Structure 1
Amino acid sequence: MVEIPLELTQKCVKCALCKSVCPTYPYIQKEAGYARGRLVLAEMLLSGELKDGEAYKHLDQCAMCRRCEWVCPNGVEYKEIVATVRNTQRKSFVKSAGLKSLELLQSEVGRKVIKLTGKLMEKLPFEEVKVPFPTGAVKFMPKPNGKAFNLRGKTFKAEQEKGVLLFFTGCMIDAFYSKTGENVIKLMNRAGWTVVVPEDIKCCGAPHYYSGDKEAFERLKEHNLKEMEKYQFDAVVVACPTCGGALQEDYGLKKKVYDFAELLFESNLTFKGRGTKTTFHVPCHSYSAMKVSDKVFYGLLKRVEGDQLIKGEKDKSCCGFAGLFSITNPKLSKSIQQEKIEDLKKTGAEVVLTSCPGCVLNLKDGTKANKTNQKVMHLADYLADCL
């Protein structure tokens, strides 16, 4: 029997406020379809009172967006409880393969394969490839990048340095969105920060932690902390809030972890737009894990002179990606994604911006599938273009 501390399980006062923000509940319509019910199932599974595979299924249907934590009046640590119970569950083949692939991607062989594949695919006239998965999911996935991992082991000096940042790039920027990584560095340099990119950072381990593979998370965390110790820096910067949340909450770092947008917001940089209509999707883990105020993102975009910023009614709703969730729960993920795409369409924006590479992937998939003709960009790429 696995036990979790009583102070964690007894914090929930069953108010059901979490129901109002849960992205999965509208499509499940059961008590087990949102945090309150899932917490009851988790406690029963961990105590041994319940051994039903159906209960695990309900927990697997959670996107771990942590919006429930965001609105919880009593500070229930939902992530810790669900991660603990998922650790007692036998992983499906698809989930195990997905988590292993993240470790393989950051191996010496994996990096070479990604880079070579990226170079071979560079001349193809499209950015995404339609990929079918054994679960029935079909997604437009980004091509590997020919410049994958090119930032590793380098220092990028600011002209008027006010400090040094360690840039924790993250798997998606490393392998698929290399230009975004370059633009984060460009923006940080212009804001006065020298940027160091570690040579051998692996996956942050957040997908493993959320999936309940705490052993793999601890292994990745130990490796990354040892690698980070090799460098002198004042703070850590990320362009992926899931990585940022893991570093901030679970790594025990003494240095502060910043979303790159926070540092830009604090700077005096200004931006010149082109009269573009833009809208912004706020990633769930930005506010639920990293606790970044959306005033940071909107404040920055209001400084882009000449552009028209249009806020969506559901700008903070989940996009439906949630990493492996979109592969293991394809119908549920598509329903959540569709709600987001409809909201983006209503804005009439030409460009959809967000600050998470996972959200970029899923929003591109959604806009392509729905043929909305809206361009999706990472905020770092857009702001770098507007400098």
Structure 2
Amino acid sequence: MTSIFLPCQDGSLEEYRLQGMPIARPGAVPAFSRIAYAAAHVVSDPLRDADPWGNPAIDWEATMAFRHHLWGLGFRIAEAMDTAQRGMGLTWPAARQLIRRSLAEARSVPGADLACGAGTDHLAPADARSIEDVIAAYEQQIGFVEAEGGRAIMMASRALARVARSPADYRRVYGHILSQTKEKVILHWLGDMFDPQLRGYWGSENFEEALETVLAIIGENSARVEGIKISLLDNAKELALRNRLPEGVLCFTGDDFNYAELIEGDGTKYSHALLGIFDAVAPSASKALAALASGDLSTFRGVIEPTVPLSRKIFEAPTQYYKAGVVFLAWLNGHQRHFTLPAGLQSARGLLHYADIFRLADQANVLDKPELAVARMRNLLGVLGVEQS
């Protein structure tokens, strides 16, 4: 049995013996009974980084290969979202390239589907002077996505959070944008645990008041709204929204703490999924969702529930740095040659965090190539001064 010495919270080392079994790949692209978007990361290119914090280079070949990996497992892709480090290393010019390349790639894959994040991140919040500035920024990005033949996910806006003075301002912005989109849009309710600059989004820090504003926006524009992704890491809040959505408007869970129970549902209602954790646990999530589609709840629960402790570790506070854990697992599993992120974000988490992810990933059967994962983990430990005995 393979083992590795990992650091513990008290500064000691423990011998950890791997126990997990890799999830087998399906023989054909599976069908799901839930719409399942995996929010996908981008792969940086450290060999071409002239300015890794201001304008990091992207390894486009590896980035596109990872999207094929997700499509082959049955997922739709949520492209250029916060998992791809929008606003945390991926600039709008780079996001435009990513969207254009992914849409072109999807057209070469039968059945492949994706939706693309469109926001206002090319407008610095400090430069936003009015609601009109925010509207113009949204129009530019959604216009680009639709001109490229894509569907938009209307991302939350730091600039709007800064200039809005009331819920009416949010209704005005969203109503204006939704009135002119070509395709139905997915809205995005992203909590401030993911982005502190979004505190008070929808015009209130009170959930019940924010909920009323969201429901009003959806009710006034339901013909233009495919659904809403809610990322508050609170299943009770998601249920409060889900239970009041108009007929035909979908709830996409973005709750990386409670996704298993929310996707399964209560026998009457359930959530679809748009999740960053699906990037990291794609084979497990694919197997679980296929089992759910066939009515095999035992397999669904048995496969997906072990991934929840792993996800909670990856998304622990400060939650906005979860991208580091997602890319760490992509590196361990051989989807990229190196463990670096745009803007050097791998440094946002410490070695003890990564050691815990390693343990939990093994216990959740998420390490696809255990021997490779151990070799790479040993390299990381050695670089950081942890010698193997």
TM-score, structure 1 normalization: 0.29
Higher relative contact order (CA 8 A, sep 6+): 2
TM-score, structure 2 normalization: 0.29
